Structure 1
Amino acid sequence: MAITDWPADERPREKLLQRGAHALADAELLAIFLRTGVKGKSAVDLARELLADHGGLSALMAASQERFCRSHGLGDAKFVQLQAVVEMSRRYLAEDLRQRPVFASAATTRQFLLAQLRQEVREVFAVLYLDNQHGLLLYEPLFYGTIDGAAVYPREIARRALELHAAALIVAHNHPSGVAEPSDADVRITKRIREALALLDIRLLDHCVVAGPEVISLAERGLL
């Protein structure tokens, strides 16, 4: 049965307009993005198949162009559209952080870090540089590789903070393993960064670890 033959309150577009986007399942949201199905399958049927094939919405959105375009009903045009949607989401979250203090929007900060780091296949160490009102000046990935293997240089973080006239920082990195629990190395490098910044009267507010859908705050753990 075509979606147009469904009851109006069950059609994804009408459901979104009546009840809001939050009321839709992943497959329904994806169906709106796809717009049309393929022969013998509605857009919702196709969306469900794609989610099952990729292992969920997050994996689908992070898929490489080659992997994405191998799926039935998808191609380069849809890949470009999806990447544009993902990037707009990241920029929206960054803009939201710039407009109000980071700690006044902890949920948005976590969402932003998830959007930036969750799908990275290698470890990325990034810094949020903040002004004296804790508004976001800049988000910048600085180091790549494991904390133990690839050097994280506190002096480089401090130098960049001075260039940007930052008053405070939040550092963050991901664990591609999917295990968010902070390691001993995470705690050690946090202490070194905090001490380097303290000499310049710049505060380290937090060190966040991103893994899967989880963001762990070392400050909340009392490890800062």
Structure 2
Amino acid sequence: MTVTPFPELKIRDVHEADRPRERLIRQGAQSLSNQELLAILLRTGTKQESVLALANKVLTNFEKLHALKHATLEEIVVIKGIGEAKAVQLLAAIELGRRLAQKETDSRFTIRSPDDAASFLMPEMTSLTQEHFVCLFLNVKNQVLHKQTIFVGSLNASIVHPREIFREAVKRSAASIICAHNHPSGVPTPSPEDIDVTSRLFEAGQIIGVDLLDHVIIGDHQFISMKEKGYF
């Protein structure tokens, strides 16, 4: 993680041309570091430290920038110098960014391969701290009609019931489905429960006429296609 070396400076002590807001206006947002972008959102520091130092504390507290995606109000306000108002500003910006990214991804995305399915799902699922079982409902052109989280929790056959999934598939007039779930451990190796659930869903899809194209297991920026691995 790159941090701009301004920790002890007040913004007024930084040359005007080098201040984050001025640099954004002049050079564009992409030219700013994570610290500088956070500083703009936080707007002001405290009597004891600059806004740049405060932004640095936020980054240090969450270790990785993407960890902020799942930060709660309570987790942010424990950082000294961050009150409720600043925490709300950060959470609003994070949520807006998430929605923009998801909206772009969801615009009739076409899935032609396991890589496409993983690319569609991984930005949202790779850093989740609990298992999420998600289904993509596709039309005859393999375009995503709908994405739905079926349940959150440890995967087992009694929870993931084909009835709930294929009821939604019929409702959406889906021609096929792709299932996915994440492993919070970061290792996407299929468990016996993963294999059992996949087999039951494949068999149910064959009976109903809605094909299970794949079951993708997502780890830490890696994935396994159970179709490619020959599990069904």
Question: Smaller-chain TM-score range?
Answer: 0.7 to 0.9
Using the TM superposition, give the Cα deviation of residue 149 of structure 1 relative to its aligned residue in structure 2, in angstroms. 7.7
Using the TM superposition, give the Cα deviation of residue 34 of structure 1 relative to its aligned residue in structure 2, in angstroms. 1.4
Equivalent in the alignment of 1:210: 218
Contact 2:189–2:224 at 8 Å: present in 1 too? no
Contact 1:90–1:115 at 8 Å: present in 2 too? no
Match of 2:50 among 35, 42, 50: 42
Matched, 1:51 2:69: no
Q: Deviations over 1:181-203 (max 9, x none)?
A: 33343233223222322333323
Summarize the Cα distance change of 1:15–1:133 in structure 2 as closer, same or farther, 3 Å threshold: farther
Contact 1:170–1:205 at 8 Å: present in 2 too? yes
CA–CA separation in structure 2 for the residues paired with 1:152 and 1:89: 31
Equivalent in the alignment of 1:81: 89
Summarize the Cα distance change of 1:74–1:111 in structure 2 as closer, same or farther, 3 Å threshold: farther
Amino acid corresponding to residue 77 of structure 1 in structure 2: A
Amino acid corresponding to residue 69 of structure 1 in structure 2: V
Summarize the Cα distance change of 1:128–1:23 in structure 2 as closer, same or farther, 3 Å threshold: farther
Matched, 1:222 2:204: no
Summarize the Cα distance change of 1:46–1:189 in structure 2 as closer, same or farther, 3 Å threshold: same
CA–CA separation in structure 2 for the residues paired with 1:105 and 1:90: 24
Matched, 1:123 2:123: no
Amino acid corresponding to residue 173 of structure 2 in structure 1: H
Runs (5+) with no aligned partner, structure 1: none
SS at match of 2:46: coil
SS at match of 2:111: helix
Larger radius of gyration: 2
| Matched-pair identity in % | 36
Equivalent in the alignment of 2:14: 6
Q: After the TM superposition, which of the residue ranges 11-20 and 50-59 deviates more from structure 2?
A: 11-20
Using the TM superposition, give the Cα deviation of residue 111 of structure 1 relative to its aligned residue in structure 2, in angstroms. 6.1
Contact 1:143–1:150 at 8 Å: present in 2 too? no
Count residues in correspondence: 223
Q: Deviations over 1:16-72 (max 9, x none)?
A: 455544443322222222122222422222111121123222333322322211112
Equivalent in the alignment of 1:91: 99
Summarize the Cα distance change of 1:221–1:105 in structure 2 as closer, same or farther, 3 Å threshold: closer
Matched, 1:68 2:76: yes
Contact 1:117–1:174 at 8 Å: present in 2 too? yes
CA–CA separation in structure 2 for the residues paired with 1:171 and 1:9: 50
Equivalent in the alignment of 2:5: none
Matched, 1:167 2:171: no
CA–CA separation in structure 2 for the residues paired with 1:197 and 1:36: 56
* TM-score normalised to structure 1 length: 0.79
RMSD: 3.2
Summarize the Cα distance change of 1:55–1:153 in structure 2 as closer, same or farther, 3 Å threshold: same
Summarize the Cα distance change of 1:101–1:116 in structure 2 as closer, same or farther, 3 Å threshold: closer
* TM-score normalised to structure 2 length: 0.77
Runs (5+) with no aligned partner, structure 2: 1-8
